[in-house]
């Protein structure tokens, strides 16, 4: 049981320096690697036709983000549908059907990695290396870029070097940064070096890294029915590295990191779970040095840490230390080398940071562990995914400032700028979109006969359907995989949920921040609501919990809670 | 830097500039962040850890007989048996059962598997460990728990005509503790254990059909 504590200690010990480094990268401060990285970056900026010091207003920034997503997505969709005719396909894998290819593309484009296919049998090496890995690298960085731009906006916009600080004139658009430079700098200087290190560490532990096709093995016991065994290989290690570091989760093999080829040893499991939390935690440590508001960074860290510890503790208890741990089914869907605690820790952390990888089959875990995973994804800001977690946290923050301001009778303002009607309306759109999409689709899938494709009777069937949409909307990507989700309905409805969960949640906070930046700044005085305090942090957590329960309590009771009560009577018998 | 700084204009962004950037980033993502990065990862792996990078394959007389990371089916009484597989040990069909704890089929299957194991090993059903009765997440879990190995020792020793303590010693030498004492669980690698059994010199004249494949 010492693993969770060591994990937390290492996340803080590594996340703190990495966060400071990331802040320097995103602020374009002079640093030691400038000569090397500058040599790499200059031709790229020239090819993209941009100059990194050129500022963008929020509209241009968002337009660049959306346009690059649209183009990238279209090309990857085409690659998936034509992979049989393209090179690097040693195992002769056929083209993907249009709807499955569309869902797969959108799922990777939205940093979700929900998989309705099995990678080792349905994607060629080329499709995995370009489409899957390329999107796994760039989409978390896009999220990070949007979060950095939002922070710049909240603090009044990027200042020209050498100019005295002080807000922008009311008629100009606040400079929220240069999208292309943000993406390229963060990828080359931060994400890819980490990925190469993790790829090497994982290969050391046994994860394959090859371009050769997998061999046919002849099993030893001739009496068994299996006469030959294809060992599927490929450039697995680099994919697994970015899958974990970039809050992605889409594995090379169908059952993800439960497969020994993706996760060979307990040490590789620990390295992967460390990678899962590393960048989201680093981003929280980035806030202080990036914005110059260290107390604000500390408040965000404290809030997220408290929610994380509670949720992880609940998952560990439910899976391995509650009454249901005595069940003979305890090891169903789990691996012997990892065991119950490592599986529960993984389930908790991955759903906190929006990473869809699994090292045990969630469908077969204790119902309350599934409940913890669902609530983590509904909140989606306990660390949260790379960039998008911070965006979601900012939504809760603005809401909490607004509500706390109303309760104490003070003008709701953040960093000296007033939150008014238009901003709150934009927030309300975001808050309402979640139950509309998730509950709407869940109800439709269950009400129309033949759509749901659940493999479980009773309460657990509801959990399967609900989980799939929660995971899609949260851009998590894990699933209760007993669900028959390879159909046109599931592919298309999840595609809608994926898009609705990604783009508004990234762009609307940026728009709000830019609106705030354009307002006149009032000096922060004794009458200002102090948000950098434990009291405010607890208020924020309270609002997050009340909001989630108000929206989703009924379905949570009918799904996992009822499932848990039913299981209790089964074990007793 | 200061002189080249240009503040953003309030005007709408120019579409041509944005699509040019988008096209550049698309190419850079697929070729650079995707393919080149993956190739670099493969190169580093092949250079530093070639055996692991190529799938931890196990060869006998130049023939690949399996991978240390993929479980094989064993049905003969002379072999230790792995955990049941929902995928029939086929690595192209990898899967767990994905059955819920409350699924009636799962409850029935667990009972049935546990009773079958108890009969085969001649032990009470209550002493069958959970990992041996359940299907793993991957369908190719190469390990079983030390308890799951222990209840199989008597049968394997009988089938091979070996003394029980010889098999017990072999199991003990193939039992890995939790890594560094605190990571994961103690475990026995079934394929390696069975290979070691096959490599033993026959202890008695091989009256049993399978006695000592060497």
What gap in Å lies between CA A259 and CA A333, rounded to an integer?
Answer: 11
Q: How many CB atoms lie within 10 A of CB A443?
A: 13
Among A180, A199, A261, beta carbon nearest to B69: A261
For residue A482, give how far its alpha carbon lies from the nearest alpha carbon of chain B (Å).
5
Among B46, B67, B83, beta carbon nearest to A217: B67
Partners of B34 on chain A (C-beta within 8 Å) are 129-135, 137
Distance of CA A119 to the CA centre of its chain: 20
What gap in Å lies between CA A158 and CA B57, rounded to an integer?
Answer: 54
Domain boundaries of chain A, sorted by first residue: 386-563
Dihedral of the CA atoms A289, A68, A54, A520 (nearest 10)? -60
Among B8, B22, B102, beta carbon nearest to A60: B8
What gap in Å lies between CA A432 and CA A8, rounded to an integer?
Answer: 34
For residue B63, give how far its alpha carbon lies from the nearest alpha carbon of chain A (Å).
8
Preferred mutation among A10, A41, A332, A570 to probe B, highest tally of B CBs within 10 A: A332
Preferred mutation among A10, A42, A86, A336 to probe B, highest tally of B CBs within 10 A: A336
A162/B140 CB distance under 8 A: no
Instruction: Count A/B contacts: CB-CB distance under 8 Å.
Output: 435
B102/A563 CB distance under 8 A: yes
Domain boundaries of chain B, sorted by first residue: 15-50, 57-199
Is the pLDDT confidence value at B6 over 60? no
Residue A316's SS3 state is helix
Preferred mutation among B23, B44, B78, B96 to probe A, highest tally of A CBs within 10 A: B96
Residue A169: per-residue pLDDT: 47
Enumerate residue ranges in chain A where pLDDT < 50: 161-171
pLDDT digits (tens, 9 = 90+) for B52-91: 999 999 998 889 999 999 999 999 999 999 999 999 999 9
Q: What percent of chain B has pLDDT over 90?
A: 78
Is the pLDDT confidence value at B214 over 50? no
Nearest to A432 by CA among A350, A500, A516: A500
Token reading at A198: 């993790």
What gap in Å lies between CA B57 and CA A90, rounded to an integer?
Answer: 19
Preferred mutation among B15, B18, B38 to probe A, highest tally of A CBs within 10 A: B38
* B10 against A227, higher pLDDT: A227
Min mean pLDDT across A418-432, B5-19, B93-107 is at: B5-19
For residue B153, give how far its alpha carbon lies from the nearest alpha carbon of chain A (Å).
18
Give B144's contacts (C-beta < 8 A, 6+ positions apart). Answer: A336, B80, B82, B83, B131, B132, B187, B188, B190
Residue B118: per-residue pLDDT: 96
Taking CA–CA distances from A264, the nearest residue in chain B reads B69
What gap in Å lies between CA A207 and CA A263, rounded to an integer?
Answer: 7
Residue B12: per-residue pLDDT: 54
Min mean pLDDT across A506-515, B175-184, B203-212 is at: B203-212
Token reading at A476: 């998590």
What gap in Å lies between CA A257 and CA B115, rounded to an integer?
Answer: 31
Residue A530: per-residue pLDDT: 86
Distance of CA B129 to the CA centre of its chain: 19
Nearest to A246 by CA among A352, A353, A102, A115: A353
A482/B21 CB distance under 8 A: no
Partners of A172 on chain B (C-beta within 8 Å) are 7-8, 10
Partners of A86 on chain B (C-beta within 8 Å) are none
Environment class of residue B20 by beta-carbon count within 10 Å: exposed (0-12), middle (13-18) or buried (19+)?
middle
Partners of A183 on chain B (C-beta within 8 Å) are 25
Give A397's contacts (C-beta < 8 A, 6+ positions apart). Answer: A414, A531, A540
B28/A184 CB distance under 8 A: yes
Give B170's contacts (C-beta < 8 A, 6+ positions apart). Answer: B193, B196, B197, B200
Residue B189's SS3 state is strand
């Amino acid at each position: 049981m010492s693993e969770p504590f060591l994990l937390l200690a290492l996340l803080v010990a590594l996340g703190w320096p990495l966060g400071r480094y990331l802040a320097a990268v995103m602020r374009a401060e002079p640093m030691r690697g400038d000569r090397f990285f500058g040599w790499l970056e200059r031709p790229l900026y020239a090819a993209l036709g941009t100059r990194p010091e050129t500022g963008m207003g929020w509209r241009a920034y968002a337009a660049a983000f959306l346009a690059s997503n649209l183009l990238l997505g279209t090309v990857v969709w085409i690659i998936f549908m034509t992979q049989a005719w393209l090179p690097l396909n040693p195992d002769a894998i056929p083209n993907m059907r249009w709807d499955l290819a569309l869902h797969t593309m959108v799922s990777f484009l939205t940093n979700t990695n929900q998989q309705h296919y099995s990678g080792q049998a349905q994607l060629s090496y080329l499709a995995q290396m370009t489409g899957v890995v390329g999107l796994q690298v760039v989409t978390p960085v896009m999220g990070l870029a949007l979060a950095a731009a939002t922070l710049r906006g909240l603090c009044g916009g990027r200042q020209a070097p050498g100019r005295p600080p002080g807000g922008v004139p009311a008629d100009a658009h606040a400079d929220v940064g240069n999208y292309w430079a943000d993406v390229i700098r963060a990828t080359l200087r931060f994400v890819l070096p980490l990925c190469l290190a993790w790829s090497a560490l994982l290969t050391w532990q046994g994860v394959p890294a090859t371009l050769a096709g997998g061999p046919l093995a002849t099993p030893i016991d001739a009496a068994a029915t299996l006469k030959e065994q294809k060992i599927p290989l490929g450039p697995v290690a680099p994919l697994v590295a970015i899958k974990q570091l970039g809050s992605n989760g889409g594995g090379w093999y169908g059952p993800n990191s439960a497969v020994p080829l993706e996760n060979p040893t307990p040490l590789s499991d620990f390295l992967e779970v460390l990678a899962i939390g590393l960048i989201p935690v680093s981003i929280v440590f980035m806030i202080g040095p990036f914005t110059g508001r260290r107390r604000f960074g500390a408040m965000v860290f404290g809030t997220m840490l408290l929610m994380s510890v509670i949720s992880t503790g609940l998952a560990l208890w439910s899976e391995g230390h509650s009454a249901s741990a005595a069940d003979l089914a305890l090891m169903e869907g789990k691996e012997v080398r990892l065991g119950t605690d490592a599986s529960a820790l993984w389930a908790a952390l991955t759903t906190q940071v929006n990473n869809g990888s699994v090292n045990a089959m969630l469908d077969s875990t204790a119902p309350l562990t599934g409940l913890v995973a669902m609530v983590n994804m509904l909140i989606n800001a306990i660390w949260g995914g790379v960039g998008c977690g911070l965006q979601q946290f900012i939504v809760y923050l603005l809401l909490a400032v607004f509500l706390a301001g109303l309760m104490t009778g003070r003008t709701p303002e953040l960093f000296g700028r007033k939150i008014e009607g238009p901003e709150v309306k934009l927030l309300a759109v975001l808050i309402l979109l979640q139950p509309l999409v998730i509950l709407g689709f869940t109800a439709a899938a269950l009400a129309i006969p033949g759509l749901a494709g659940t493999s479980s009777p009773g309460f657990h069937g509801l959990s399967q359907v609900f989980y799939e949409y929660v995971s899609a909307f949260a851009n998590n990507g894990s699933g209760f995989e007993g669900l028959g989700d390879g159909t046109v309905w599931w592919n298309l409805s999840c595609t809608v949920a994926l898009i609705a969960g990604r783009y508004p949640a990234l762009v609307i906070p940026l728009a709000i921040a830019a609106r705030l930046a354009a307002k006149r700044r009032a000096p922060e005085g004794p009458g200002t609501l102090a948000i950098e305090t434990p009291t405010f942090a607890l208020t924020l957590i309270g609002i997050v919990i009340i909001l989630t329960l108000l929206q989703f309590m009924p379905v949570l009771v009918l799904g996992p809670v009822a499932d848990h009560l039913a299981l209790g009577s089964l074990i007793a018998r | 830097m200061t002189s080249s700084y240009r503040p953003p204009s309030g005007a709408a962004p120019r579409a041509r500039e944005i699509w040019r950037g988008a096209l550049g980033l698309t190419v850079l993502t697929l070729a650079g962040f995707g393919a080149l990065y993956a190739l670099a990862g493969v190169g580093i792996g092949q250079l530093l850890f070639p055996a692991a990078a190529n799938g931890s394959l196990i060869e006998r007389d130049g023939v690949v007989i399996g991978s240390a990371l993929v479980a094989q089916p064993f049905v003969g009484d002379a072999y230790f048996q792995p955990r049941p597989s929902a995928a029939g040990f086929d690595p192209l069909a990898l899967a767990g059962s994905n059955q819920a704890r409350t699924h009636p089929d799962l409850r029935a299957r667990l009972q049935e598997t546990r009773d079958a194991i108890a009969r085969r090993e001649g032990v009470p059903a209550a002493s069958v460990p959970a990992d041996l009765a359940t299907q793993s997440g991957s369908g190719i879990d190469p390990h079983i728990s030390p308890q799951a190995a222990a209840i199989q020792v008597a049968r394997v020793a009988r089938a091979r005509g070996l003394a029980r303590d010889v098999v017990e010693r072999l199991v003990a030498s193939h039992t890995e503790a939790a890594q560094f004492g605190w990571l994961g669980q103690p475990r026995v690698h079934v394929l390696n254990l069975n290979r070691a059994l096959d490599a033993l010199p026959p202890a008695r004249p091989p009256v049993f059909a399978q006695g000592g494949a060497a």
